Amino acid sequence: CPHTTSWFPFYQQFSCQCLYGWKGAFCTEIVSVCDPEHKPPHQCSADATCIPLPYGYACHCPLGKIGTYCEQAPEKQTKPTINQYRYCLLLYILAVSISDPSFRATESSWMAFTPFNIRHKTHISMQFKPLSADGILFYTAQHLNPRSGDFLSISLAHGFVQLRYNLGDRTVILQTNTQVDTSGRTWHLVKAGRSANKGYLELDGSNVTQKATAGMTALDTRTDFYVGGVSMLNAVSALAVEDEPTGFDGCIRELIVNDIELNLSETGAQEGVNIGDCDGTACGYKVCNMGNCISDSSDNFTCSCPPLWVGSKCELSMFCLVNLCQHSSLCVPDVSTASYTCACPLGWGGTYCENQIALFTLKFVGNSYVKYTDPYYKSRNLEFTRISLNFTTNENEGLILWIGKAENEDNDFLAIGVQSGNLKVAVNLGERISVPLIYREIILCCNKWHFVTVLQNQTNISVYLEDKIILFEDIDPERRYVALNYESTCYFGGFELSRKVKSVTSGVFTQGLVGKIKDVLFQDSRKVQFNGLEGYNVYSGDN
């Protein structure tokens, strides 16, 4: 027992009583300033993390707390009343409400978000107001260690914005032509990303691009999306930054990744430490939507709304403030007519969705959709798929059917639609191995009924129009992927009202169907029954 005052034998075993400053079963470990054995104990709050330093320690605060010891929220706390003091002394410690997060490199600030698919394309848009010339704005990698594998990083280097990414073969570096303002007075807008290995970087409208070259095209990342820094800066790839990795100093707002906006708040982030609020008020970039936010010293705010918008956060159109829409329908304001329309849920129709309608023939109007969940999916043989239906189209473009989750570009799918008046079928069984099949002999138009059948037999795709085979192709003779893993989900006519067809399908189709669908047979001889399914803006086409 080194570093002990005594030891005590006990039946050929012993225990060590350690000298001050040592710990462990054999008194061989030095007591850190952050250990509970240290005297005096550290003062970090219970939910903070104590980090030992060469001279003292630092407290890493969880999201919603700031201060030297993570014990307070100085800028945005609401002072308790005398009565509140009487009832709960815990009101002394209040959480920070983050509307636009602020980061401090000296305090190792960072936020982390649950990642999603950015493998084949990565498009990032963010606004930031810097206080220093260096720092990580966004980072994700295959592994969180110096040998990171694939990575993508957006950072400041000597005042210039850099985009760096590595898909497994080489590191691509793009840098802006101008430097940012580090005085803390200017919000900058950066747009950066890549499609396959072709990259681009834009700062306040000035663009730099990297042409596509031969080589790797997929970005394989598994870490969280880190914003403003990384949980372990020594785990950042040396190739991802120009100098030593450092956190960002300043504020960030409106961060959008592949059309998905990340919620930059204490409730939206998965993790984070030492995050404050940019201006120390309840106001933030989108607190009042399109209006102006006005905050007072007591953490209250009011919104000055633009014309035709009302509500405490300018979230309501004046035209929908008093509406007659029924049966959970959605009020859609129409500025051109100074009125509104009602988006009816499936099975309801009429001006105010007041009439229940039978759905034998579905009529789609371009912003319509029906979502069908296959109840027999788990018992299906996914190497064989059969779908047939009757349809009409009034326009030269339109999505008729999408079999698949449609959550990201790697999801399997089988799709039927119209492109330039021609029938188009597209299939992806994995790794984006998709060859669009287009039949150009017949122009589909003029509200005429057509009967289409698509068969998938492993990688063989057969398409029938009016019971005549018109297309046949083996889309993957090597048989790398043979099953259509559609996760039980099918869409007819389009997608949810908040999702655009062109974006969801990555341009495979450009808009929803304007036309009709009926007599849908999926996998077997039983017709799909649409009553009771999810959908909006679908009308009866039997009239």
Q: What angle do CA 395, 396, 401 make, to 5 degrees?
A: 85
Dist CA 486 CA 497 (whole Å) = 21
Alpha carbon distance 511, 412 (integer Å): 20
- Percent of the chain that is helix, strand, coil (3-state, to 5): 5, 45, 50
* Segment 401-417, tens digit of pLDDT: 999 999 888 899 999 99
* pLDDT, tens digit, 9 for 90 and up, residues 264-274: 988 889 999 88
Sketch out the chain's domains with CATH numbers: 4-60 (no CATH), 101-277 (2.60.120.200), 319-356 (2.10.25.10), 361-540 (2.60.120.200)
* Beta-sheet strands, E only, within 290-433: 292-295, 301-304, 309-310, 316-317, 330-334, 339-343, 348-349, 355-356, 361-373, 384-393, 398-403, 413-419, 422-428
Give the C-alpha distances (Å, rounded to integers) separating 301 from 78, 191, 287: 12, 31, 9
What string of H, E and C letters represents the secondary structure of 460-510? EEEEEECCEEEEEEECCCCCCCCCCCCCCEEEECCCCCCCCHHHHCCCCCC
CA distance 472 to 481: 18
CA atoms within a 13 Å half-sphere pointing along the CA-CB vector of 511: 16
pTM for the model stands at 0.74
Pair type for strands 450-457 and 460-465: antiparallel
Query: Cα separation of 180 and 159, whole Å?
Result: 5
Rounded CA gap, 51 and 32, in Å? 10
Q: What is the 3-state secondary structure (H, E, C) of 17-48?
A: EECCCEECCCCCEECCCCCCCCCCCCCCCCCC
Amino acid at 206: S
The CA distance from 94 to 112, in Å, is 22
The 10s digit of each residue's pLDDT in 340-363 is 999 999 999 999 999 999 889 999
Tokens linked to 418? 């119209």
The low-confidence residues of the chain, meaning pLDDT below 50, are 10-11, 74-95
DSSP-based three-state secondary structure for 158: coil
Q: What's the Rg (C-alpha) of the chain?
A: 30
CA separation for the pair 23, 159 (Å, rounded): 47
Residue 371: per-residue pLDDT: 97
| pLDDT at residue 59, rounded to an integer | 83
Q: Distance between CA atoms of 368 and 374, rounded to whole angstroms?
A: 20
- Phi, psi values for residue 228, rounded to 5°: 80, 0
What's the pLDDT score for residue 75?
46
C-alpha 370: how far from chain center: 23
Which uninterrupted H or E stretch holds 447?
none
